[in-house]
């Protein structure tokens, strides 16, 4: 009778939000079904599948990544079955409701947390007491009143999907680009009930836990409690992902982190900007010195995998100042630096800078920045490509030695030049095969007067270590020319290598 649904980005993302709604349906839980799709599925097929359950009410979770496709699904549903009550919820429809097509098609929109509000609205609709207005503003529920959702991860979820958990909600910080800055503070779930739920998941076989807490290391006592829980259950399959703030790592927390074997912990660390003026402008309180010290400690003294985030396009940030931040960060050698392009989140306070810093965003999701007073559209385009190539080369782990040559003493400037050159040569940021990437890196290094043998050794070693099949052109050609220079026959070696390559083909990216 009631269907809860959303369009996830990937199959292995299981929606925690929908499971909260389901767990808190009360007497309506037995007549509520959860259906998850992937946004690449065809809207008609999604609608067909939803209608099979013969729902009277459909609740949809709407996010920045699925708004386009979800709008199509809702529009189709309303064409075919206008009698079905459509209820929307999620951050993308919690603000600026008057400006969105999807809101026009829907019957109701719950703004704010829907954990209890969705069930309450369903009750009213089913009892014939529907609200006379479309927008329903939900209050933040006391977390102790919520039924925890973890029992709604089924065996298939546990076997093949990421299991999201949360020990707390909200954030006390005020970074203006982020919707969590609208929270008054952070609230913990009742610790014993939460640990019981974790224990039950662990006993059911879950070993990969992704914590969605905005700042896991906010309350050190509670962070330690959770880490101790996992230290008692260590095994080689355990993998824990936490988002942490980088300037708050007291000794007790460091001691606990140090006790985890390499590869068990992954920390997602929002750096966003290392420019103090930009930090101040966007109300981000971050101690740069402590941040860099703690990152260094984590990299050198712990076995944690460090995924760090930077944002390009913030007000007051220029290409050069972003580059300075990138260069400071890369010196600490985190495993990954994700270069994100600023996105406009509906409701985020950053909008107050739109006029003064001439912030212009795409009107299409995900509403990425197009230009600012300090960064033109050309540079945003360059940095969008930079982010993509950096993922393929800098973050992929496939260019261990080659990356150092590509970056030289001026990592940001050199990689930007490389990125511009790759785009000039290929006109592409996607569908570039791995072997082609190695070829491009080799050619560019030679153009920068890199020693041919150095470049060959580094990239050939990386290519072999990557496990890719076939051979890039540069390995054929360079092998040939090296053999030629030492007096061995060039042509047969090249022919043989080319045969090998044409037999195996290039590996996909």
Choose the stretch contacting ligand SF4; rule: CB under 6 A; options: 24-32, 53-61, 172-180, 460-468.
172-180
- 15, 180, 217, 291: which one contacts ligand SF4 (CB under 6 A)? 180
Number of helices (H), then strands (E), in the chain: 19, 16
φ/ψ region of 230 (left if φ > 0, alpha if ψ in -120 to 50, else beta) reads: alpha
Nearest CB to ligand SF4, comparing residues 60 and 175? 175
Nearest CB to ligand SF4, comparing residues 170 and 394? 170
- 6, 15, 72, 181: which one contacts ligand SF4 (CB under 6 A)? 181
Nearest CB to ligand SF4, comparing residues 55 and 270? 270
Q: Does 270 bind ligand SF4 (CB under 6 A)?
A: yes
- 153, 173, 389, 438: which one contacts ligand SF4 (CB under 6 A)? 173
The DSSP-derived string for 448-470 is TT--HHHHHHHHHHHHHHHT--S
Tokens matching residue 60: 């949809």
- 111, 215, 223, 308: which one contacts ligand SF4 (CB under 6 A)? 215
Choose the stretch contacting ligand SF4; rule: CB under 6 A; options: 76-84, 87-95, 173-181, 493-501.
173-181
Q: Does 178 bind ligand SF4 (CB under 6 A)?
A: yes
Q: Does 214 bind ligand SF4 (CB under 6 A)?
A: yes
Q: Does 246 bind ligand SF4 (CB under 6 A)?
A: no
DSSP 162: B
102, burial (CB in 10 Å: exposed 0-12, middle 13-18, buried 19+): buried
Look-up: residue for tokens 């030679």?
446
Q: Rounded CA gap, 120 and 509, in Å? A: 48
The DSSP-derived string for 14-63 is --HHHHHHHHT-GGGGGGEEEEEEETTS-HHHHHHHHHHT--SEEEEE--
Q: Does 372 bind ligand SF4 (CB under 6 A)?
A: no
- 86, 119, 143, 175: which one contacts ligand SF4 (CB under 6 A)? 175
Nearest CB to ligand SF4, comparing residues 175 and 432? 175
> How many CB atoms are closer than 10 A to CB 46?
22
CB of 135 to ligand SF4, least distance (A): 25
CB of 318 to ligand SF4, least distance (A): 21
Nearest CB to ligand SF4, comparing residues 102 and 369? 369
- Between the CA atoms of 346, 350, 356 and 362, what dihedral angle is there, to the nearest 10 degrees? -40
Q: Does 171 bind ligand SF4 (CB under 6 A)?
A: yes
Choose the stretch contacting ligand SF4; rule: CB under 6 A; options: 52-60, 124-132, 170-178, 417-425.
170-178
φ/ψ region of 31 (left if φ > 0, alpha if ψ in -120 to 50, else beta) reads: alpha
Q: Pairing between strand 168-170 and 186-188?
A: antiparallel
Starting at the earlier edge strand, list the strands of the sheet with 2-8. 32-38, 2-8, 57-61, 85-89, 108-111, 135-137
Nearest CB to ligand SF4, comparing residues 119 and 175? 175
- The end-to-end CA distance of the chain, in Å, is 44
Nearest CB to ligand SF4, comparing residues 113 and 402? 113
Q: Does 216 bind ligand SF4 (CB under 6 A)?
A: no
- Between the CA atoms of 386, 388, 394 and 396, what dihedral angle is there, to the nearest 10 degrees? 180
Q: Does 307 bind ligand SF4 (CB under 6 A)?
A: no
Nearest CB to ligand SF4, comparing residues 181 and 294? 181
Nearest CB to ligand SF4, comparing residues 215 and 266? 215
- Residues near ligand SF4 (CB under 6 A) are 171, 173, 175, 178, 180-181, 214-215, 245, 270
């Amino acid at each position: 009778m009631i269907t809860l649904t959303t369009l996830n980005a990937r199959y292995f993302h299981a929606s925690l939000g929908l499971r909260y709604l389901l767990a808190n349906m009360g007497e309506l839980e037995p007549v509520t079904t959860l259906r998850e799709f992937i946004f690449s599925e065809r809207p008609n097929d999604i609608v067909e599948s939803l209608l099979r359950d013969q729902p009277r009410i459909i609740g949809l979770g709407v996010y920045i990544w699925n708004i386009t496709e979800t709008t199509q699904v809702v529009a189709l549903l309303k064409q075919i079955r206008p009698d079905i009550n459509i209820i929307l919820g999620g951050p993308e429809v919690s603000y600026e409701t008057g400006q969105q097509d999807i809101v026009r098609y829907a019957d109701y929109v719950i703004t704010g947390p829907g954990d209890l509000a969705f069930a309450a609205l369903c009750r009213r609709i089913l009892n014939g007491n529907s609200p006379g207005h479309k927008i329903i503003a939900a209050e933040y529920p006391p977390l102790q009143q919520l039924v925890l959702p973890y029992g709604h991860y089924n065996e298939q979820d546990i076997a093949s999907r990421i299991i999201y958990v949360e020990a707390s909600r909200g954030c006390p910080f005020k970074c203006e680009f982020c919707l969590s800055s609208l929270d008054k503070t952070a609230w913990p779930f009742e610790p014993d009930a939460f640990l019981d739920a974790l224990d039950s998941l662990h006993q059911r076989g879950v070993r990969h836990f992704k914590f969605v807490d905005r700042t896991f290391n906010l309350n050190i006592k509670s962070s330690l409690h959770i880490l101790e829980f996992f230290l008692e259950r260590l095994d080689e399959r355990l993998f824990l992902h936490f988002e942490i703030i980088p300037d708050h790592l007291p000794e007790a927390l460091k001691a606990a982190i140090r006790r985890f074997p390499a590869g068990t912990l992954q920390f997602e660390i929002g750096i966003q900007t290392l420019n103090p003026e930009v930090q101040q402008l966007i109300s981000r309180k971050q101690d740069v010195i402590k941040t860099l010290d703690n990152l260094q400690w984590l990299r050198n003294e712990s076995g944690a995998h460090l995924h760090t985030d930077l944002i390009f396009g913030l007000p007051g940030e220029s290409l050069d100042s972003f580059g300075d931040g990138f260069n400071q960060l890369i010196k600490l050698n985190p495993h990954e630096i994700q270069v994100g392009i600023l996105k406009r989140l509906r409701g985020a306070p950053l909008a107050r800078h739109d006029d003064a810093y001439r912030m212009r965003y795409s009107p299409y999701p995900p509403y990425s920045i197009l230009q600012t007073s300090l960064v033109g559209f050309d540079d945003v385009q360059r940095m969008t490509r930079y982010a993509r190539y950096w993922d393929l080369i800098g973050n992929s782990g496939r260019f261990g030695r080659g990356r150092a040559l590509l970056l030289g003493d001026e990592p940001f400037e050199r990689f930007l030049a490389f990125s511009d050159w790759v785009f000039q040569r290929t006109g592409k940021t996607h569908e570039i095969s791995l072997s082609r990437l190695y070829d491009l890196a080799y050619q560019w290094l030679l153009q920068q007067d890199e020693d041919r043998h150095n470049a060959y050794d580094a990239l050939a070693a990386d290519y072999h270590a990557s496990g890719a099949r076939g051979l890039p052109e540069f390995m054929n050609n360079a092998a040939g020319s090296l053999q030629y220079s030492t007096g061995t026959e060039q042509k047969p070696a090249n022919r043989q290598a080319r045969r090998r390559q044409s037999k195996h083909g290039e590996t996909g990216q």
